[in-house]
Structure 1
Amino acid sequence: MARAALKKTPAKPVMRSAPARKLAPPPFQPVQLATLVDTVPTGSNWLHEMKYDGYRLLVAVGDGGARAYTRSGLDWSDRFGGIVDEASSLEVRAALIDGEAVVMDENGRSSFQALQGALKGAPATIDFIAFDLLSLDGEDLTNLPLVERKQKLRYILPEGSARLRYSDHIVGNGEQLLHSFCDAGLEGVISKRADGRYIGSRSGGWLKTKCIKRQEFVVVGWTPSDKSRSFRSLILGIHDGGELRYAGKVGTGFNTDELFKLIGLMRPLAQDKPTVKAPRAEVRGAHWIKPRLVAEIAYTEMTNEGTLRHPSYLGLREDKKPEAVVLETEAPIGTIAEPAVSSVKVSNRERVIFPESSITKGQLADYYAAVAPVMLPWVGSRPISLVRCPQGRAKKCFFQKHDAGSFGETVKHVGILEKDGHEEPYLYIDTADGLLTCVQMGTIEFHGWGARIEDVEKADRLVFDLDPDEGLDFEAVRKAAFHFREILQQIGLETFPMVTGGKGIHVIAPLVPKAEWPEVKDFAHRLAQAVAQSDPDNFTAALPKAQRKGRIFVDYLRNQRGATAVMPYGVRARPEAPVAAPITWKEMETIDKPSHFHIGDAKELVKRAASKALIGWGRADQVLPDL
């Protein structure tokens, strides 16, 4: 069998004793992602695992059972009930396990198509391949080396379980392993730094090498068949440079049931105008649809024109949103930097950016390089707006959220539909190189949407910016923050505060991305109005500045589609280079001002973040309540 290529894990030396009282299940947190490369990395610093063909899942175990979350934080516990039920019986107080939901055949091969079939009618055949352990019994493990996390994971998984399986690995010999997997018809190899910590972004610490080319594409239309009532081929699109472009057609890989299922899904999405520009001869008679469906496609190569050669349909991806479907290309292995370390060369390092304190561009870049491991889980894979001050903060500064490609390949684009129906390329980053490229281009501040690119229509946080009127001291802001905390606790939302580096405080409630923007905005607006009406001497939700005199403005407008808020660990374009930083409510009792931290505190900020003492690390297991 193909799995024999992996060394067998030694038997467990001891079994865990029965756990004490259960703890609350850990909240979801952003998952670590792998970078596609052209060859397997060499050396004993890398361990290699089988690349599975399924759905990425985080399984949270604790008091009350277990939950299963997709890579974007959606709760799919009902779809993976068998996995959830078995995970609930693990002898742990609490755990957060990273892995893949798969359907395996007798030769150890996983099949995405088989998984889709099982989700429809045979969920008992779905297994969970566990490959990482993020927390155990209330202890955060993400700062431990991977090999230690995997050892702890192996000990908590039951012996002989058919449903919860441990992902074996080998150290070194990755290229040989890839050849054996490819010969056996498997998907490829995932290579991971053996000593790497878990970083909830695409850090360079995990790499993937594929046997065959495959990725997601957006279904933008279909061509009719002259032999049946369904269709001949699907017309595909891909986001490239922030624009949805034509990527070819796929006409194989469908069975009869899938043909009729797809036509039933596509007809309600019909639109008259072409969704992408395509050669007229290739799409003659096309039926165009709104870009709402995502399909997994296997292919041999992409032509110089950017279309697929020998594509084959594998299935729909309900866990991926069209906005997040971008062109994935193989990076040469030699260009991949160490995890969360940037290889970007910063020019003009001596240029003074903050004239009041003579802080230079080089010092700003060094700060962002230092905090990249703790900042990327917040800012990564999220539409962002940049505050660029190429000549320094005292000169002309401007916001930028779109780009035509001047930032290069490390700063990426996600196409997002505007109100008038056209698509604009919004910026996002997911690596330290992307972060430092923005700094090289004169960026000081990073502001992000309240949603990730996996689903830009669903909020993953509530942000209330408590903005004091001129003349109010910080003590008034502190009291307001605690008041807001109590109100949100009463309706079931746990929060954390963030000093903004400006005048006020953000009170932030992480959310499972379930509610869409109209509902989120309405909730935030009504809550702000209710607070202002209950205490009109201290709070206002009025937009005109003339009506805010002597009070704190509850800024709820960050909770709407397209609105942004300053990102944690982002520097502000203000005197002395203050930094936005999440803090605990205990720290909120004594902290002196919103600009408490500055770029000289990089080491302290990284050390604080490593303790994970904040609810804000990841999205809490909470949804928008009713008011």
Structure 2
Amino acid sequence: MASERITLEAGGREISLSSPGREVWPEAGITKRDLAEYLIAVAEPFLAHNGDRPVSLERFPASVDGDSFFSKNPPKGAPDYVESVPVTYNSGRRHRQLVLTEPAAIVWAAQMNTVVFHPWASLASDTDRPVELRIDLDPQPGNDFADVVYAAHGMREVLAEAGLELWVKTSGNRGIHAFCPIDPEWEFLDVRHAVIAAGRELERRMPERVTTNWWKEERGDRIFVDYNQANRDRTMAGAYSPRPLPQATVSTPVTWDELDGLDPHAFTIRTVTERLRDVGDPWAGFAERPGRIETLLQWWQRDLDDGLGELPFPPDFPKMPGEPPRVQPSRAKK
């Protein structure tokens, strides 16, 4: 028997949606149709922050309680309004990656069972040079959201001293994603070094509360400044992207004024559209005043001169110049 289908309108196109009643978030009772209609409702700010750039799709064929996989390359049969761009990965391999440019393409992704959208920090027009400096403030066991908020305020002060404006959004879980718009004049490795410099400066100011230690056994209960999210082809959930958590939370841009006392789990597929109607998009104008990272790179060089070198890369990366051994300290040979 053929599966049930409905037709939705998105940006002037009609999109066929199969199995609209399938519960993608069973605990919350949120269906595939609910997801598609949410994406249509938030399409304008969603595309402003995630569109026109390479994107990876995290797809859940059954529900968020089941298995998932990532799609980067355009699948066979993708409609012509789903675009792509060639990108170079860390291995040196070059391949085309999906690019979303209009509401219909987002709904097509929902039809393909996408839940989480992972955009690159660079645009399709120049995939090698990021337009965003991204910092993932990652809580550890023993932290609550207030701890992450405290670190975010500290990072805002650090980056302001470096001439950068920091914008924040919830991760959709317990963390905070902090972004700075930047001029696309530096490659990913330079931006990564800028993030490390900012993280080290914050760590100096909050040594009991913040760490740049890559190895979990060395972090304790300190907020981890995940500098590796600034690498090429390392992504985090985009603004207004749903997350595969039971409540159907959404990674949601917020203002600094509302950050203190915020409940990040209150932003869900069911609440974010009303929030947009009531308060608008806190990240409107995000890209209008891009900053520069020269000061952070000066801090990076200062730290190099003081004996602080490169930090570990993710395990799937090739060995990088100056990188320390990729073995957790407790297992390293003495």
Query: TM-score interval w.r.t. the shorter chain?
Result: 0.7 to 0.9
Whole-Å Cα distance in 2 between the matches of residues 540 and 520 of structure 1?
19
TM-score by length of 1: 0.44
Q: Residue 353 of structure 1 aligns to a residue in which SS?
A: strand
Whole-Å Cα distance in 1 between the matches of residues 240 and 13 of structure 2?
17
Q: CA contact under 8 A between 1:411 and 1:438: conserved in structure 2?
A: no
Q: CA contact under 8 A between 1:386 and 1:446: conserved in structure 2?
A: yes
Match in the other structure for 1:254: none
Compute the displacement of 1:613 (Å): 4.7
From 261, 265, 277, the equivalent of 1:595 is 265
Whole-Å Cα distance in 1 between the matches of residues 187 and 145 of structure 2?
34
Match in the other structure for 2:247: 576
The alpha-carbon distance between structure 1 residues 616 and 570, as it changes in their structure 2 partners (threshold 3 A), is farther
Match in the other structure for 2:289: 620
From 473, 496, 500, the equivalent of 2:171 is 500
Correspondence 1:162-201 to 2 at 5 A: none
Compute the displacement of 1:341 (Å): 5.0
Match in the other structure for 1:225: none
The alpha-carbon distance between structure 1 residues 404 and 349, as it changes in their structure 2 partners (threshold 3 A), is closer
Whole-Å Cα distance in 2 between the matches of residues 518 and 440 of structure 1?
35
Larger fraction in helix: 2
1:403 aligns with 2:108: no
Whole-Å Cα distance in 1 between the matches of residues 278 and 182 of structure 2?
23
1:357 aligns with 2:28: yes
The alpha-carbon distance between structure 1 residues 512 and 469, as it changes in their structure 2 partners (threshold 3 A), is same
Correspondence 1:64-143 to 2 at 5 A: none
Q: CA contact under 8 A between 2:25 and 2:247: conserved in structure 1?
A: yes
Correspondence 1:50-449 to 2 at 5 A: 340=11, 342-419=13-90, 421-449=92-120
The alpha-carbon distance between structure 1 residues 608 and 514, as it changes in their structure 2 partners (threshold 3 A), is farther
1:604 aligns with 2:308: no
Q: Residue 96 of structure 2 aligns to a residue in which SS?
A: strand
Compute the displacement of 1:535 (Å): 2.3
* Structure 2: runs of 5+ lacking an equivalent: 1-7, 300-334
Larger fraction in strand: 1
The alpha-carbon distance between structure 1 residues 572 and 442, as it changes in their structure 2 partners (threshold 3 A), is same
Match in the other structure for 2:201: 530
Compute the displacement of 1:390 (Å): 1.2
Q: CA contact under 8 A between 2:210 and 2:224: conserved in structure 1?
A: yes
Whole-Å Cα distance in 1 between the matches of residues 158 and 227 of structure 2?
15
Q: CA contact under 8 A between 2:162 and 2:293: conserved in structure 1?
A: no
Compute the displacement of 1:426 (Å): 0.8
Spell out structure 1 runs of 4+ moving beyond 4 A: 419-422
* Structure 1: runs of 5+ lacking an equivalent: 1-336
Compute the displacement of 1:421 (Å): 4.7
Match in the other structure for 2:316: none
CA deviation vs aligned residue, 1:164-214 (integer Å, no higher than 9, x gap): xxxxxxxxxxxxxxxxxxxxxxxxxxxxxxxxxxxxxxxxxxxxxxxxxxx
For 2:27, give the aligned amino acid. Answer: E
CA deviation vs aligned residue, 1:233-285 (integer Å, no higher than 9, x gap): xxxxxxxxxxxxxxxxxxxxxxxxxxxxxxxxxxxxxxxxxxxxxxxxxxxxx
Match in the other structure for 1:450: 121
Whole-Å Cα distance in 1 between the matches of residues 178 and 90 of structure 2?
29
Whole-Å Cα distance in 2 between the matches of residues 545 and 402 of structure 1?
32
Larger Rg: 1
The alpha-carbon distance between structure 1 residues 495 and 615, as it changes in their structure 2 partners (threshold 3 A), is farther
CA deviation vs aligned residue, 1:490-537 (integer Å, no higher than 9, x gap): 111111110111110111111122222221111112221232243221
Q: CA contact under 8 A between 1:380 and 1:430: conserved in structure 2?
A: yes
The alpha-carbon distance between structure 1 residues 445 and 555, as it changes in their structure 2 partners (threshold 3 A), is same
Whole-Å Cα distance in 2 between the matches of residues 415 and 521 of structure 1?
22
Q: CA contact under 8 A between 1:577 and 1:599: conserved in structure 2?
A: yes
CA deviation vs aligned residue, 1:560-601 (integer Å, no higher than 9, x gap): 222212111110011110011111101112312x22310012
Match in the other structure for 1:462: 133
Compute the displacement of 1:441 (Å): 0.6
Q: CA contact under 8 A between 1:380 and 1:429: conserved in structure 2?
A: yes
Match in the other structure for 2:225: 554
The structure with higher relative contact order (CA 8 Å, sep 6+) is: 2
Whole-Å Cα distance in 1 between the matches of residues 125 and 226 of structure 2?
26
The alpha-carbon distance between structure 1 residues 406 and 543, as it changes in their structure 2 partners (threshold 3 A), is farther
Whole-Å Cα distance in 2 between the matches of residues 418 and 555 of structure 1?
20
Whole-Å Cα distance in 2 between the matches of residues 578 and 338 of structure 1?
24
Whole-Å Cα distance in 2 between the matches of residues 386 and 535 of structure 1?
36
Q: CA contact under 8 A between 2:10 and 2:40: conserved in structure 1?
A: no
From 159, 184, 190, the equivalent of 1:488 is 159
Whole-Å Cα distance in 1 between the matches of residues 288 and 105 of structure 2?
23
The alpha-carbon distance between structure 1 residues 352 and 459, as it changes in their structure 2 partners (threshold 3 A), is same
Q: Between Structure 1 and Structure 2, how many residues are aligned?
A: 289
The alpha-carbon distance between structure 1 residues 432 and 609, as it changes in their structure 2 partners (threshold 3 A), is farther
The alpha-carbon distance between structure 1 residues 418 and 466, as it changes in their structure 2 partners (threshold 3 A), is closer
The alpha-carbon distance between structure 1 residues 493 and 547, as it changes in their structure 2 partners (threshold 3 A), is same
Compute the displacement of 1:603 (Å): 2.9
Correspondence 1:15-26 to 2 at 5 A: none
Match in the other structure for 1:510: 181
Q: CA contact under 8 A between 2:89 and 2:232: conserved in structure 1?
A: no
Whole-Å Cα distance in 2 between the matches of residues 538 and 342 of structure 1?
50
Q: CA contact under 8 A between 1:340 and 1:373: conserved in structure 2?
A: no
The alpha-carbon distance between structure 1 residues 441 and 614, as it changes in their structure 2 partners (threshold 3 A), is closer
Whole-Å Cα distance in 2 between the matches of residues 613 and 363 of structure 1?
24
Q: Residue 277 of structure 2 aligns to a residue in which SS?
A: helix
Whole-Å Cα distance in 2 between the matches of residues 345 and 616 of structure 1?
33
Q: CA contact under 8 A between 1:383 and 1:452: conserved in structure 2?
A: yes
For 1:603, give the aligned amino acid. Answer: T
Whole-Å Cα distance in 2 between the matches of residues 365 and 431 of structure 1?
14
The alpha-carbon distance between structure 1 residues 355 and 416, as it changes in their structure 2 partners (threshold 3 A), is same
CA deviation vs aligned residue, 1:279-312 (integer Å, no higher than 9, x gap): xxxxxxxxxxxxxxxxxxxxxxxxxxxxxxxxxx
Match in the other structure for 2:144: 473
Q: CA contact under 8 A between 1:354 and 1:392: conserved in structure 2?
A: yes
Whole-Å Cα distance in 1 between the matches of residues 149 and 282 of structure 2?
20
Whole-Å Cα distance in 1 between the matches of residues 190 and 16 of structure 2?
44
Q: Residue 565 of structure 1 aligns to a residue in which SS?
A: coil
The alpha-carbon distance between structure 1 residues 467 and 616, as it changes in their structure 2 partners (threshold 3 A), is farther
CA deviation vs aligned residue, 1:212-239 (integer Å, no higher than 9, x gap): xxxxxxxxxxxxxxxxxxxxxxxxxxxx
